[in-house]
């Protein structure tokens, strides 16, 4: 088996690699490093989690070992689709270049131009950037790309989704024709193929298996969900999500919940928080500092549930995620592979559980075709009534002032009478349609004390760039999401679900009128009797 020491890397790089605890190169590293060191173009078809970042950083550091940077003329350029990924690459660079004198700058949105300009003015060996921010600097006349000897394009397929391809083409055109190009993409869409044919010269092509498609360490399952009424779809689906999380409580240490649309990211995070879960949203419309804080919190185990859009979460290196919940079936089948690849990393066990609406069944077929497997159908964990535990539309649109009171009210009836409500609900419940197929084990449902353990090794994040076209603009509901540090944003600091449970003391309720549902009335009678 190839060892790092066989790869002709700079001894200083080898030392850093060994200090990082890596012994043998991963397949993408063993395949990409030798041609890269020979100065050849490389086309790596690999996704995050395969070790691809080191497959371009290690040879870059070795090749740049000789020579010095000149003011405003970086010697190498790494382009990443999101701020998170760019920051992650920068961290990798710091790890592997720690015994060298190479310098780097990170050009991402949300950081002041002034600081970044100062670094570039001094001259950097490695410039790590998102395409938009890089072009902003270029247009301000602060940057020359004619000194770029090595250019890396990371996650090209995501660049395509985000509409960055014209920027990438432009940047290619600003760098010298003689540059070396290391190009990485998880998939080879026709447009990506066109770019590589245009800008890469006789590349060495290395393709590594999609780890997630065959990942036997990832338990997969899908719950077929049918809302009882169209206007209740959102709240019933969120109630089902909570039941799924609860059912996994024993093994769920932390989780990423993926939604197809940004507005759902916000709605799901908000709703989970309201129900006492330790959840935070992350997507492209949130401001930089909030995204960084959320990610750092998630990595540190302070935030247990990250609710994310594909773009925001793509490529994040968060090795200890125990669960991925797909609130929707992704509309691009490849995203399923990326999403579930967030769990079960480095041989750990993981679970990937998805909810499928009737209208997503076509997408589910596409996913199953791509992974060449039938995803086991799961039962709704309790077969409960989503209606009983679903939020009312009123609560969903409550103002910040109104919300705490309503939340408490709801918590009261929920915590007391959930079971009774479920009984009753047979008629009301959305009853996630259950196809008893190969049944993936779902544990019975203690409450979700999604415990922390995550230790992570990557960096902060976001970008102001567009998210994939499929995502829609946030609605007013999204706009009302409280800022961190305000209102419910602090739930987790106050003890999250436990705290909420403690708050749900029963109180006498008057004025319910004659229409009080029997299951609620019963609880009062019991109370009165006692
Ligand atoms: P990446 O695909 O670059 O996001 O890397 C995924 C994870 O694998 C990161 O946590 C790396 O630190 C880790 N990693 C990279 N190279 C190796 C290696 N040769 N052996 C073990 N882990 C590695």
Query: Buried b vs exposed e over 257-267: b needs ≥16 C-beta within 10 Å?
Result: bbbbbbbbbbb
Residue identifier of the C-alpha nearest atom 15 of ligand 1: 51
Residue 48 CB–ligand 1 contact under 6 Å: yes
Q: What is the pLDDT of residue 466?
A: 37
Residues 160 and 203 both lie in one domain: yes
Residues 112 and 134 both lie in one domain: yes
Q: Which atom of ligand 1 is nearest to the CA of 17?
A: 19
Query: Buried b vs exposed e over 17-47: b needs ≥16 C-beta within 10 Å?
Result: beeeebeebbbbbbbbbbbbbeebbbbbbbb
Nearest to 228 by CA among 380, 364, 420, 426: 426
167 part of a folded domain: yes
357 part of a folded domain: yes
Residue 341 CB–ligand 1 contact under 6 Å: no
Residue identifier of the C-alpha nearest atom 14 of ligand 1: 51
Beta strand pairing call for 305-308 and 279-282: parallel
Q: Which atom of ligand 1 is nearest to the CA of 4?
A: 19
Residue 457 CB–ligand 1 contact under 6 Å: yes
Residues 194 and 278 both lie in one domain: no
Q: What is the largest CA-CA distance in the chain?
A: 86
114 part of a folded domain: yes
Which token pair is 450?
Answer: 């999604």
- What is the CA 348 to chain-centroid distance, rounded? 18
Residues 198 and 241 both lie in one domain: no
Residues 357 and 487 both lie in one domain: no
107 part of a folded domain: yes
Distance (angstroms) between ligand 1 centre and the Cα of 51 equals 4
Residues 45 and 162 both lie in one domain: yes
- Cβ burial of 524 (10 Å; 0-12, 13-18, 19+) is middle
Residue 449 CB–ligand 1 contact under 6 Å: no
Residue 88 CB–ligand 1 contact under 6 Å: no
Distance (angstroms) between ligand 1 centre and the Cα of 343 equals 14
Residues 45 and 127 both lie in one domain: yes
Q: Which atom of ligand 1 is nearest to the CA of 47?
A: 2
Residue identifier of the C-alpha nearest atom 13 of ligand 1: 51
Residue 14 CB–ligand 1 contact under 6 Å: no
257 part of a folded domain: yes
CATH at 287: 3.40.50.300
98 part of a folded domain: yes
- The CA-CA-CA angle for residues 426, 246, 341, to 5°, reads 120
What does 350-413 look like in DSSP terms, one character per residue?
EEEEEEE-GGGHHHHHHHHHHHTSPPPB---SS---HHHHSPPHHHHT--TTTHHHHHHHHHHH
Contact assessment for residue 39 and residue 182, using Cβ atoms and an 8 Å cutoff:
no
Residue 59 CB–ligand 1 contact under 6 Å: no
Q: What is the pLDDT of residue 347?
A: 59
Residue identifier of the C-alpha nearest atom 5 of ligand 1: 51
- Choosing from 172, 207, 242, the residue where a domain stops is 207
- Choosing from 149, 182, 207, the residue where a domain stops is 207
Residue identifier of the C-alpha nearest atom 12 of ligand 1: 51
Residues 165 and 263 both lie in one domain: no
Which residue positions in the chain have pLDDT lower than 50? Answer: 211-214, 384-528, 530
Nearest to 78 by CA among 49, 50, 58, 98: 58
400 part of a folded domain: no
Q: Describe the strand order of the beta sheet including 305-308 as a list of residue ranges.
A: 218-224, 350-356, 323-326, 255-258, 305-308, 279-282
Q: Which atom of ligand 1 is nearest to the CA of 50?
A: 2
Q: What is the pLDDT of residue 333?
A: 82
Q: Which atom of ligand 1 is nearest to the CA of 26?
A: 19
Contact assessment for residue 329 and residue 360, using Cβ atoms and an 8 Å cutoff:
yes
Nearest to 144 by CA among 176, 183, 177, 118: 176
Residues 69 and 143 both lie in one domain: yes
Cβ-proximal residues to 426 (8 Å cutoff; 6+ apart), any chain: 385
- Cβ burial of 347 (10 Å; 0-12, 13-18, 19+) is exposed
Distance (angstroms) between ligand 1 centre and the Cα of 49 equals 6
Residues 229 and 160 both lie in one domain: no
| Pairwise CA distance, residues 412 & 514, whole Å | 20
Residue identifier of the C-alpha nearest atom 18 of ligand 1: 22
Query: Buried b vs exposed e over 492-513: b needs ≥16 C-beta within 10 Å?
Result: beeebbeebeebbeeeeeeeee
Contact assessment for residue 378 and residue 353, using Cβ atoms and an 8 Å cutoff:
yes
| Pairwise CA distance, residues 118 & 16, whole Å | 28
Distance (angstroms) between ligand 1 centre and the Cα of 24 equals 11
Count: domains in the chain: 3
Distance (angstroms) between ligand 1 centre and the Cα of 322 equals 18
pTM: 0.54
Residue 342 CB–ligand 1 contact under 6 Å: no
Residue 54 CB–ligand 1 contact under 6 Å: yes
Residues 11 and 157 both lie in one domain: yes
Which token pair is 294?
Answer: 């959320």
Q: Which atom of ligand 1 is nearest to the CA of 20?
A: 12
Residue 22 CB–ligand 1 contact under 6 Å: yes
| Pairwise CA distance, residues 442 & 438, whole Å | 12
Distance (angstroms) between ligand 1 centre and the Cα of 342 equals 13
Q: Which residue range is the domain that position 466 belongs to?
A: 436-529
409 part of a folded domain: no
Output 34-39 pairs: Cβ under 8 A, ≥24 positions apart. 34/7, 34/8, 35/204, 36/60, 36/63, 36/180, 36/182, 37/7, 37/8, 37/9, 37/62, 37/63, 39/63, 39/180
| Pairwise CA distance, residues 364 & 110, whole Å | 36
Q: Which atom of ligand 1 is nearest to the CA of 88?
A: 4
Dihedral over Cα of 158, 160, 164, 169: its sign: positive
- Choosing from 367, 390, 413, the residue where a domain stops is 390
Residue 51 CB–ligand 1 contact under 6 Å: yes
**What is the SS3 assignment for 183?**
strand
Residues 12 and 159 both lie in one domain: yes
- Rounded to a whole number of angstroms, the distance between the first and last alpha carbons of the chain is 73
Which token pair is 503?
Answer: 């708050």
Residue 50 CB–ligand 1 contact under 6 Å: yes
Residue 204 CB–ligand 1 contact under 6 Å: no
Contact assessment for residue 274 and residue 491, using Cβ atoms and an 8 Å cutoff:
no
Nearest to 134 by CA among 124, 125, 145: 145
Mutate to test the pocket of ligand 1, among 30, 52, 54 (most ligand atoms within 8 A of CB): 54
For 41-62, what is each residue's pLDDT tens digit? Answer: 999 998 777 889 999 999 999 9
Residue 46 CB–ligand 1 contact under 6 Å: no
Residue identifier of the C-alpha nearest atom 11 of ligand 1: 51
For 378-395, what is each residue's pLDDT tens digit? Answer: 988 875 433 334 443 333
């Amino acid at each position: 088996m190839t060892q790092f020491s066989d790869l002709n890397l700079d001894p200083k790089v080898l030392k850093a690699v060994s200090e990082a605890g890596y012994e043998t190169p991963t397949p993408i590293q063993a395949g990409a490093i030798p041609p890269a060191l020979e100065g050849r173009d490389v086309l790596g078809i690999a996704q995050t989690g395969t070790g691809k970042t080191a497959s371009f950083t290690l040879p870059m550091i070795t090749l740049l070992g000789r020579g010095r940077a000149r003011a405003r003329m970086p010697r190498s350029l790494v382009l990443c689709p999101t701020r998170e990924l760019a920051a992650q690459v920068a961290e990798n660079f710091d790890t592997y270049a720690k015994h060298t004198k190479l310098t780097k700058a990170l050009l991402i949105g949300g950081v002041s131009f002034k600081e970044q300009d100062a670094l570039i003015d001094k001259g950097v060996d490695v410039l790590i950037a998102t395409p938009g921010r890089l072009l902003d600097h270029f247009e301000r006349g602060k940057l020359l790309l004619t000194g770029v000897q090595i250019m890396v394009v990371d996650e090209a397929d995501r660049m395509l989704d985000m509409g960055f391809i014209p920027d990438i083409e432009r940047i290619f055109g600003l760098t010298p024709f003689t540059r070396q190009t290391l190009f990485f993409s998880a998939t080879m869409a026709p447009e990506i193929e066109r770019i590589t044919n245009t800008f890469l010269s006789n590349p060495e092509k290395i393709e590594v298996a999609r780890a997630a498609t065959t990942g036997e360490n990832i338990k997969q399952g899908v719950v077929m969900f049918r809302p009882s009424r169209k206007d209740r779809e959102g709240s019933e689906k969120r109630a089902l999500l909570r039941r799924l999380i609860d059912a996994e409580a024993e093994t769920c240490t932390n989780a990423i919940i993926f939604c197809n649309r940004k507005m759902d990211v916000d709605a799901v995070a908000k709703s989970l928080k309201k129900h006492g879960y330790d959840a935070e949203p992350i997507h492209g419309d949130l401001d930089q500092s909030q995204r960084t804080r959320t990610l750092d919190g998630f990595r540190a185990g302070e935030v247990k549930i990250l609710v994310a859009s594909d773009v925001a979460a793509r490529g994040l290196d968060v090795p200890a995620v125990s669960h991925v919940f797909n609130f929707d079936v992704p509309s691009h089948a490849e995203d399923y592979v990326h999403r579930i690849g967030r769990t079960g990393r480095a041989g750990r066990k993981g679970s990937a559980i998805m909810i499928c609406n009737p209208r997503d069944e076509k997408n589910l077929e596409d996913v199953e075709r791509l992974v060449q497997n039938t995803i086991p159908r799961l039962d709704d964990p309790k077969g409960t009534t989503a209606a009983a535990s679903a939020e009312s539309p009123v609560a969903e649109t409550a103002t910040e002032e109104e919300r705490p009171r309503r939340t408490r009210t709801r918590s009261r009836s929920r915590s007391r009478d959930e079971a009774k409500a479920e009984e009753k609900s047979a008629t009301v419940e959305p009853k996630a349609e259950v196809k008893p197929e190969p049944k993936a084990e779902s544990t019975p449902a203690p409450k979700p004390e999604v415990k922390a353990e995550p230790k992570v090794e990557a960096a902060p994040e976001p970008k102001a760039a567009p998210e994939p076209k499929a995502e829609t603009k946030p609605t007013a509901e999204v706009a009302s999401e409280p800022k961190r540090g305000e209102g419910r944003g602090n739930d987790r600091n106050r003890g999250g679900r436990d705290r909420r449970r403690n708050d749900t003391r029963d109180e006498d309720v008057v004025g319910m009128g004659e229409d009080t549902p029997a299951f609620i009335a019963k609880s009062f009678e019991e109370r009165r009797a006692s």
